[in-house]
Amino acid sequence: MDGLAALVQQAFGADPFVGAVWLFRGRRGRLVKCLWHDGQGLCLFAKRLEQGHFPWPVTSTGSVALSAAQASMLLEGIDWRNPQRTWRPSAT
Q: Does some domain include residue 85? A: no
Quick check: helix, strand or coil at residue 37?
A: strand
Q: Does some domain include residue 88? A: no
Question: Which residues are CB-contacts of 47 (< 8 A; sequence separation ≥ 6)?
Answer: 31, 32, 34, 75
Burial (Cβ within 10 Å: 0-12, 13-18, ≥19) of residue 40: exposed
pTM: 0.76
8-state DSSP, 14:
-
Q: Does some domain include residue 20? A: yes
Q: Give the chain's domain count.
A: 1
User: 20-37, pLDDT tens digit by residue?
Assistant: 999 998 888 899 999 999
Distance CA 90, CA 92 (A): 6
Alpha helices in the chain (DSSP H): 2-12, 68-75
Q: Does some domain include residue 84? A: no
Domain hosting 28: range is 2-75
Q: Does some domain include residue 13? A: yes
Q: Does some domain include residue 67? A: yes
Higher pLDDT, 45 or 70: 45
